[in-house]
Each structure stands twice: as structure tokens, then as C-alpha cells.
Chain A
Amino acid sequence: MNRRRLLLAAGGIGLTGASAWTLRNDFDDDGLPMQVEALDAPGSAAGEVRVPAADTVTVVDLFATWCAPCKRQMDELATVHQRYGEDVAMISVTNERIGGSLSRDDVREWWRRHDGAWTVGLDQDSDLMAALGASELPFLAVVEADGEVRWKDGNVTDAARLEREIDRALGGT
């Protein structure tokens, strides 16, 4: 490739669907564990929570209220939540900044409407998103109690796949 063509080409990086892992990949998992603001909502109590939980494997779900596929992800998460109960911690977090036309109540309303029944929190400065290197939504991670990320993936993950990853993390293999 000649110089001019390379230069032209470089201006166009980030074409749809090409490289989902662009700049955010610079981050590593060092940011975990971290504190996240949890909301008072079904299955969730207001306050600061540690992500991951200190005593078990945690499923982290990154979502946004505008994200249509995130609704489908909620159904899969509900299945997983029912199966594991308290044995696995689960938290869904939106990185949307509260303000303007979005309130905490709007997030609670979204949570109720999609049958959330576990901890839901806010990541207003996208710290958790950065720590996980997520650049698309929904985004899921299975994290051990010490903060080690055992598995992570963008896009909708079905319950069976997520359960396999949880079992691997629980089994310590």
C-alpha cells in the first residue's frame, strides 16, 4: 500500500462491525474490584456495592435503557438468576449519566418493566465499562471475588452459555 492510500485508509478506521475493540482495549482489569452505586429497585438495595462481590463469583451485565438487545439479555439473566439464587452475585449496570431527560426513576422504571430482580447500579463515569474494556452493549462478564475477569463478551449471551462460564468460574478450573 502506498503512503497516500494508507493515510486515506487510516481516516476511516472504525467502520461498522469491523473492529469492535478499538481504543477501550487499552484498559486492563486492574480497576476491579471497584465501588458502584446501587439503586433502590426490585431485588436491589440503595448504597455502594463492591463489584465483584467479596465472597462469590459475580455476573456483571452492562446495559443501557436505550439498548434494545439489552432487553433480551434481561430474559436470559432472569433464567440464570433463578437457577443460581444467592450462590452467584449478579449486577446490571448502566453507564448512562443521570440528568437531562434521564432520571434515576427512569432507570428504575426500565428495571421494573424488564423484570429485574437483582442488583442494579449506575456507572456514570463509565469506570466499570472501561475496566472491562467494553465498547458495545449488552456486555457480560464473569468475575471472581478477587476481581479477576474469567470471561467477558459483548452482545446477547444466552442462559446456557452464561451458565457454562459461571460453572467454570465456580469450579475454579
Chain B
Amino acid sequence: MDRREYLRTATAVGFAGSVAGCAGLLDSNPNVTLDEPDREFDSEDLPYPAWGEQVPDVSLADPLTGETFHVRDADDPSVLTFFYSHCNSVCPVLISTVRDVHTHALNEGYADEVVFLPVTFDPERDDEERLRAYADEMNVDADADNWHFLRPDSEAEAEQVVEEQFGVMFERTEPEDMDMYMFNHASLTFLVNADGYVERAYRTESPDETEIISDLETVRE
């Protein structure tokens, strides 16, 4: 199936996933703390790293610090999401949700037990300067030690890491009423435990921050 067909198909089944899962004998996994989510597919059949699977073995640069971040070796639970800063519909909701969870961690004194990793798939425009301005606009405390914007070095690496490894599809678009390119993209936010295994993949444009905070609390214990 080519990319275009994929995107079309994905739109058409937007409400898949609400059907009750087939709870069976295999709903426990020694590598994760949270129970298997209620869903209709097994993790191995999903195109992204899902419950109980290892997060991809990738390293990405944090343009604000110049450091390279190895996602699987975070040492603490991590929250990952995928965005581009020129997005004006879905991404601000994703980023503000993750930002609110981050602020909860700062407020409640567990900031040193979790890291936040928003990954841009638009390295062409999302450079250090742009990401600083974006953090400011979104009220993100990007100077906090546990917040790392991550940026692939090139468009090719963005495709390789974000699409192929994380299964977060994106496709550049040229809207007629805009003088810049945008993206169609999937919305995925991951909660990964300290050992690098996915505890939850939140497949929604508007993840429930209360749910993430609660899941994170369980994973931190």
C-alpha cells in the first residue's frame, strides 16, 4: 500500500479502536507495569511500538542543549509526542497537553522522575531558535532539565525515525490558501517506562492529561 492510500485509509477508519479488546491469557507482560489496554489489536500487529514493546533504538539531538538523547536509555519514564511548530490545529493541543503534564510534574515534585520528549518531524524549520520561540509561545518551561525537544538532523532522518521506527505517519502538503507547507500527520503520544518499554500509546489528537498523569503515576511506582 503506498503512502497516499495509507493516509486515505487511515482517515476512513478514524473511529476504529473503541471496540472492546479480546482479553485473554496473554494480557500480562513482564516488561511493563500497566495492564494491556482495552483494544482490538495485538501490539505486534500495530505499525507503531505499542504496549509491551521496546521503544525504537534511536538517538536524536536536543537543539537547545546540543546534546544527543538516546531514547531507549532515558533511565526514567518518558513521555514522547510528535509535532511540527508551524502546525496550528492538532499539534498545539498535543504539546499543550504534554506541557500540562510537565507542569504537573514540576508542581508536584516528581520532575526528576520523568522526561518529556517532543519530537519534531520538520527539521527544516524547527531549529533551535524556532523551538525556543515556540516554547515561549506555548508556555513550556524548556529550560527544565526534564524537557528535551528532539530534532532529526534531516528530512531523511525524520522519515526514518518518526515514520519508520515510531510509525507516526506524516506527509507534506501545500495548502492553496497558505504560502508555506504543512503536514498531514498521525497523532501519537507514548508513555515509555524506565526500561524503554512502551506502557501506553495514546492514539488521539486530544490525549486526556488526567489519564497520562494517572498512568505515569503507576509507572513511576
- Chain A residues near B (Cβ < 8 Å): 1, 5-20, 22-24, 64-68, 95-102, 106, 125-126, 130, 135-137
Contact = CB atoms under 8 A, between A and B. Distances in A.
A11 B7 contact: no
A6 B90 contact: no
Interface residues of B, number: 56
A7 B17 CA distance: 10
Interface stretch (B44-52, B58-66, B72-80, B148-156): B44-52
B17 A137 contact: no
A126 B93 CA distance: 12
Given A13-B186, A20-B205, A7 B10 contact: no
Given A22-B205, A100-B140, A126-B210, A7 B9 contact: no
Contact of B186 (A11, A66, A101): A11
Q: For chain A, what secondary structure do more than half of its interface residues adopt (helix, strand, loop), or is it mixed? A: loop
A11 B185 contact: no
A100 B17 CA distance: 34
Contacts of B140: 100-101
B215 interface: no
Contacts of B14: 13-15, 18-19, 22
Contacts of A96: 96, 99-100, 139
B139 A16 contact: no
B93 to A, nearest CB: 7
A7 B90 contact: no
B218 interface: no
A16 B184 contact: yes
A97 B89 CA distance: 20
